[in-house]
Structure 1
Amino acid sequence: MNPYLDIIVRSTAVYLFMIIALRIFGKKELSQLNTADVILILLISNSVQNAMVGNNTTLLGGLAAATILFIINFILKKLLFKYKKFNAFMLEKPEILIHNGTLDFKALSKVNITSEELKEAMREHGVEYFKDVKMAMLEIDGNISIITGDQTLKQTHYKRRKNHKNLIQGS
């Protein structure tokens, strides 16, 4: 087999494996990565490098692997845009966490957010009480959007990390 065709096949297999593995293990978006997640990604990239390029450590071998990864990623994004069922399968949906001041405990449990984490996100947005929240939603990008019920309709975004001790304010 042509060594570059071999790299293309190997890289494609690794890419598809990683997509499926990330989907199964439920990591939604990069904005939710904590230190352990970043270390995992670095170790995985190191562990699958040889699976993609084999013994070919040449510049052309590396460029062939990188090129096919970019091409597959481009195609995947086009498929996500074109086919709604595929998009629904691959991507999580936004979850309403608070509606008109009422917490949805089932949704909070589903997305592994405690009421304390939600309170912390609300405080970051300058909201003190649940009753003041018209809607709080965990977006598909990992942000918690909060819309207040006051006259000014304050709308803010909050980036959530999996570990509530590592919450950071988003843009």
Structure 2
Amino acid sequence: MPLLPDLGELLRFDVSPLELILRGSVMYWALFLMLRFIMRRDTGSIGIPDILLLVLIADAAQNAMAGGYQTLAEGFVLVATLVGWNWLMDWASFRFKRVRRFVEPPPLVLVRHGRLLLRNMRREFVTVPELMASLRTHGIDKLADVKIARMEPDGGISVIREAKPADDDEGADEQKSLPV
């Protein structure tokens, strides 16, 4: 048994490179569409079940993409195809507004003028305790203080406070009424 592997065997193709590119492309788009329209939360707010789902999807998709490849060259073509699609999607979404609107979900309003929009919260599986925790990280402890809270495309929640009426400065009024 030789100590060094036969490089010719590692770099040969058992599966056509075109087939690997086609398989990689089809699986990239199938996974992209599924994750784009089903999972909204990005890695910044991803939970353990979401990570588990991604790992299982990757494992399940491997055989569909690879078709039983055995060599480094085939693995490289498949990985290069996936990286290429990812780069192309990033470039196209940066360059073209229509592509960006397709790639990134629009912000979703969860609270408007202190009122929960339960339908939108249910759609994204955001619970009231999760939302309130996010509001507290923004220094807000009452829904009435929220003008608008949105779930952003990255899964984070952004908050805009209600404008408070300008309080009259009582100390200034007292100073004006004091005799000089």
Smaller-chain TM-score bracket: 0.7 to 0.9
SS of 2:159's partner is: strand
After superposition, the C-alpha distances for 1:16-57 in whole angstroms (9 at most, x for unaligned) are 111122234344423342222212221221222232222322
Q: Which amino acid aligns with 1:114?
A: T
After superposition, the C-alpha distances for 1:43-77 in whole angstroms (9 at most, x for unaligned) are 22122223222232212211111111111111122
User: Once the 2 structures are TM-superposed, how far is the Cα of residue 141 of structure 1 from its aligned partner?
Assistant: 0.5
Q: Which amino acid aligns with 1:62?
A: G
Please say if 1:97 is aligned against 2:110: yes
Does the 8 Å contact 1:28/1:92 carry over to 2? no
Please say if 1:12 is aligned against 2:25: yes
After superposition, the C-alpha distances for 1:77-126 in whole angstroms (9 at most, x for unaligned) are 23333443343233211122223333333433333323332222222333
Could you say which structure has the higher strand fraction? 1
Please say if 1:53 is aligned against 2:66: yes
Counterparts of 2:28 and 2:125 in 1: how far apart (Å)?
Answer: 27
Where does structure 1 lack aligned partners over 5 or more consecutive residues? 152-171
User: Once the 2 structures are TM-superposed, how far is the Cα of residue 3 of structure 1 from its aligned partner?
Assistant: 2.0
User: Once the 2 structures are TM-superposed, how far is the Cα of residue 150 of structure 1 from its aligned partner?
Assistant: 6.5
Please say if 1:33 is aligned against 2:73: no
User: Once the 2 structures are TM-superposed, how far is the Cα of residue 2 of structure 1 from its aligned partner?
Assistant: 6.6
Change (3 A) 1:55 1:109: closer
Please say if 1:65 is aligned against 2:78: yes
SS of 1:142's partner is: coil
* TM-score between both structures, scaled by the size of structure 2: 0.70
Counterparts of 2:87 and 2:119 in 1: how far apart (Å)?
Answer: 35
Q: Which amino acid aligns with 2:46?
A: L
Q: Between Structure 1 and Structure 2, how many residues are aligned?
A: 151
Change (3 A) 1:74 1:128: same
Aligned partner of 2:139 among 126, 129, 139: 126
Q: Which amino acid aligns with 1:97?
A: L
Q: Which has the larger radius of gyration?
A: 2
**Equivalent residue, structure 1, for 2:98:** 85
Greater mean alpha carbon deviation, residues 102-111 or residues 33-42: 102-111
- Let me know the Cα RMSD of the aligned residues: 2.5
* TM-score between both structures, scaled by the size of structure 1: 0.73
Please say if 1:44 is aligned against 2:49: no
